[in-house]
Amino acid sequence: MAFKILIAGFQHETNTFAPSPATYESFVRGEGHPAMTRGDAVLALRDVNLPIGGFILASEQHGHALMPVIWTAASPSAQVTEDAYERIAGEIVAAAGAGGFDAIYLDLHGAMVAQHVEDGEGELLARLRAKVGASVPIVASLDLHANVTERMLASADALVAYRTYPHVDMAAAGARAERLLARLLDERRPLVRASRRLPFLIPINGMCTLLEPARSMYEALGALEKDQVVSLSFAPGFPAADFPECGPVIWGYGDNAAAARAAVDALYDTMLRDEALWAVPFLSPTAAVTEAMRLSATAQKPVVIADTQDNPGAGADSNTTGMLRALLAEGAQDAALGLIWDPEAAAQAHAAGVGATLELTLGGRSNVPGDTPFAGRFEVVALSDGRCRYDGPMMHGMQVNLGPVACLKIGGVRIAVSSTKAQMLDRNLYRVAGIEPEQMKILVNKSSVHFRADFEPIAHAVLVAKAPGPMTADPGDLPWTRLTPGIRTRPMGASFVG
């Protein structure tokens, strides 16, 4: 049976310890995501690896009519401004208030904190529920890094999370959400929910589903999703949001309460048993570079270093200089680093032209102890308008505009400098700066895990470095004030006491 479904997307991953808020203009630009889109133009996202893309394709295949409102996202950062939240959430709620549909689907992140609302998605879902009543099904897809709250679970009929990090299954998650929504509409009876919150925070580097223990955890989840257990999700959380419900949650839906509870309990027990395995070792910048140089001396592929604490995909600004200093201090050759977000440096390079040599001060504006601007003499190697397409597994097919981009060379290091923040999750973000990543001996990526989807196939080895930056890689190092007392701030770590 065909139905009419209102659809919208509003995504932000909020690091409450980060330096820069997400303004309305941040969402208009998209900042590494598609730019803000409204109405029927949203349907063009069907070909992009996003949850809403998978939902649109599945809905069209099943003959549903879609009423698109808005899709918008901004780069992870500090809190969403009240102005941005109210304008975007208000637009979605107003459209719901106009009626004319059978159900609502939302493409959400699940870890949004606004300046005036600490549970951004829970607030939006509650407003929608109040607007449309209990009889209209509401289903949402969530990022694997969602901090899932009780209000979110209570306000939606079903929530579905990604199962991969790097997130290569975003469209698949949207398709799963469509199947759940179709079931709710066809059968006109609710699913029974079970959920459990885990008592420890997990470093984001430890959540990679290409590696253990996350890989086995999601395999176990998939094996339990059968018979009367209709849907299971595990969100390890985003461990940089200082509010009581930050942290990992397992939840599921079924036709039978006991079956749903048993599946969730089994996954919960597995997590407690394997808690120690979720801890992550980190290298210092110098140790990472020296090890990369040792490995690359005989390797046929680049050695990739994750500059994890300056990951703009987790709230940093992608402009720290610790890894650049380490590369130069150790005399690294055939190395590339990207992206450094510095519009002023990019503009100076474009003014000077390819082949020019100029003195400039690069990055270092994080206000984090140990990070300062880097002053040096750079050669302008390449310039571009910053327009490219993602061809890697994550967000495949998405067009991005980084603004003016420059490749600056100093010593044996090439630096991709952009005018817009974007996480280094696709090799084309090097190529847009005239750098062929496969030809480098060392690549330093401002990312934590997402880069692995497109870079592991060309990597001899992957190292994780902890240079000074705004995105504290170990949640046990953060100055928490509002967590739920008793939660351990790292695997097997100390409990938060308030």
Does 107 have pLDDT greater than 90? yes
Q: Which two tokens stand for residue 75?
A: 């780069």
Sheet arrangement for strand 357-362: 357-362, 374-384, 405-410, 413-418, 335-341, 442-445, 303-307, 461-465
Domain ranges of the chain: 4-195+213-278, 285-473
Looking at residue 207, what DSSP letter applies? Answer: G
Give the whole-angstrom CA distance, residue 393 versus residue 210: 13
pLDDT at residue 455, rounded to an integer:
97
Can you give the pTM of this predicted structure? 0.88
pLDDT recorded at residue 397? 83
How would residue 145 be classed by pLDDT, with cut points 50, 70 and 90?
very high
Is residue 31 over pLDDT 90? no
Position 69 confidence tier, pLDDT thresholds 50, 70, 90: very high
Distance in angstroms (rounded) separating the CA atoms of residues 233 and 104: 20
Question: For position 218, what pLDDT does the model report?
Answer: 98
Provide DSSP, 287-329: HHHHHHHHHHTT-SS-EEEEEGGG-GGGT--S---HHHHHHHH
* 310: Cα separation from own chain's centroid: 13
Kindly report the average pLDDT of the chain as a whole number: 96
Which pLDDT tens digit goes with each residue over 404-459?
A: 999 999 999 999 999 998 999 999 999 999 999 999 999 999 999 999 999 999 99
pLDDT at 9 exceeding the cut of 90: yes
pLDDT of residue 366: 87
Answer yes or no: is pLDDT of 220 > 90. Answer: yes
Which pLDDT score, from 0 to 100, does residue 314 have? Answer: 84
* pLDDT tens digits, 329-383: 999 999 999 999 999 999 999 999 999 999 999 999 988 899 999 999 999 999 9
Query: Is the per-residue pLDDT at 1 higher than 80?
Result: no
pLDDT computed for residue 351 by the predictor: 98
- pLDDT confidence band for 190 (50 / 70 / 90): confident
**Mean pLDDT across 181-203:** 94
Q: How confident is the model at residue 295 (pLDDT cuts 50, 70, 90)?
A: very high
3 state SS for 419-443: CCCCCCCCCHHHHCCCCCHHHCCEE
**Please, what sign has the CA dihedral across residues 434, 436, 440, 443?**
positive
Lowest mean pLDDT among 6-10, 273-277, 310-314, 481-485: 310-314
Q: Per-residue pLDDT for 32 more than 80?
A: no
Cβ pair 483, 242 in contact under 8 A: yes
- What integer is the mean pLDDT of 272-284? 95
pLDDT bin (cut points 50, 70, 90) of residue 398 is: confident
Indicate the SS3 state at residue 479. Answer: coil
SS3 content of the chain, % helix, strand, coil (to 5): 35, 25, 40
CA 493 to chain centre: 25
Q: Residue 229's beta-bridge partner residues?
A: 254
Give tens-digit pLDDT for 70-81.
Answer: 999 998 899 999
Question: DSSP for 158-204?
Answer: EEEE---SS---HHHHHHHHHHHHHHHHHH-SPPEEEEEE-SB---G
Give the pLDDT score at 470: 87
Compute the average pLDDT of residues 31-58: 94
Six token digits for residue 431: 């190529």
Indicate the CATH number for domain 4-195+213-278. 3.40.50.2300
Cβ atoms 218, 176 nearer than 8 A = no
Burial class (CB in 10 A: 0-12, 13-18, 19+), 363: buried
Question: Does the structure show a pLDDT above 90 at 211?
Answer: yes
**Which residues does 130 contact at the CB level (< 8 Å), separation at least 6?**
none
At 395, is the pLDDT very low, low, confident or very high (cuts 50, 70, 90)?
Answer: confident
